[in-house]
Amino acid sequence: MDSIPRRSARYHFDYGRQSRLASQLGGSAIRFGRSVEIAVIDFHTHSAASDGALSARDLIDRAAREGVRRMAITDHDTIAGYLSVCQSVPSGLELISGVELSCQWGRVGIHVVALGFDPAASVMTRHLESLDKARRDRAEKIAHKLDRSGMPGALAGAMAVAEGAQIGRPHFARWMVLAGHVESEEIAFKRFLGRGKPGDISMLWPTLGDTVETITAAGGLAILAHPLDYKMTATRLRALTDAFCDAGGVALEVINGRPRPGDTDTLWRLVRERDLQVSVGSDFHRDSPYGAGLGVEIAQIPEGMGVWERL
């Protein structure tokens, strides 16, 4: 028996609400009778190649078991997980190339999900190599800051936790717990690693423009990940969306994990305003009471709006 709760954590569209919203916004009619085969997808997931708990193999096997039909592994700044499984995908599941790229818009760190690119395109492999280096440099800087806060040995510690994965702040957080510096990873972020804290090193990623152009040049589609997580005013979020569109971005991630319905409405409005498409994903990292399970139901998303229709 599979002990994983199958659909409990999955985000369900409120059909009435979405269809009302779609018609208010002049959207196309909801397509009835869409084949159930494509009703559950997931274009934002993490494996142990970055900061997820499951190996890429376990991640896709589990997604297939739970009824996900199309998905992408979108690790932070690495496609190693995707490459390790792309030749042996379970039947019934379609795996699309993916990655979640770190970049900067001015001083703000932004995440862009790339889907359906050629993983061998030199423009993409060069970009990923520069991100490898940026992440190693950042890890050294984070370790230096933690050292100055009375936590020596953070670089070796976080690298041991990462076990060869693309190193990130969650590995430092885990090490801080294991080394007894903090009680939980949440507290590690709150005190040392989160936005504006000593271990939050900024101004180090490639620009938003270069990132979106790289994705497009590699034949992929660029999606602005979790747009509301940047905590911007509506005006600033519009400016970010415009910069993203000008660079060639095509979609906003309107469902990330388990959004509140009001958040989804805000993003749908922006999508309509800027004539964009939408993407959806669980942003699954591990089983947790807070995060979403794998898979997003998309039967109620109006025809022509899903970026997956172009993949």
Q: Which residues lie near ligand AMP (CB under 6 A)?
A: 51, 76, 168-170, 185-186, 189, 194, 285
- Kindly indicate which of the ranges 34-42, 43-51, 91-99, 239-247 contains the residues binding Mn ion, using the contact rule CB under 5 A: 43-51
In the block, tokens 């599941």 appear at 93
Considering the complex, state which of residue 19 and residue 109 has its C-beta at the smaller distance from Mn ion: 109
The helix (H) or strand (E) run that includes residue 131 is helix 122-148
CB 82, CB 95: distance < 8 Å: yes
192, interface contact from Mn ion, ligand AMP, none, CB < 5-8 Å by kind: none
Q: DSSP letter for 45, please.
A: B
| Residue showing the smallest CB distance to Mn ion in the complex | 111
CB of 257 to Mn ion, least distance (A): 9
Instruction: Count the helix, strand and coil residues of the chain and give each as a percent rounded to the nearest 5.
Output: 40, 15, 45
Nearest alpha-carbon partner for 119 in 88, 90, 78: 78
CB of 190 to ligand AMP, least distance (A): 7
Query: Minimum distance from CB of 229 to Mn ion (Å)?
Result: 7
CB 281, CB 42: distance < 8 Å? yes
- Dihedral, CA of residue 76, residue 81, residue 87 and residue 88, to nearest 10: -120
Q: State the nearest-atom distance from the C-beta of 9 to ligand AMP, in Å.
A: 16
Q: Tell me which DSSP letter residue 258 carries.
A: S
Q: Does 51 bind Mn ion (CB under 5 A)?
A: yes
194 binds, among Mn ion, ligand AMP, none (CB under 5 to 8 A by kind): ligand AMP
CA distance 184 to 189: 9
Note whether 111 binds Mn ion by CB under 5 A.
yes
Of the listed pieces 30-38, 86-94, 213-221, 283-291, which binds Mn ion according to CB under 5 A?
283-291
Give the interface with Mn ion as residue ranges (CB under 5 A): 51, 100, 111, 225, 283
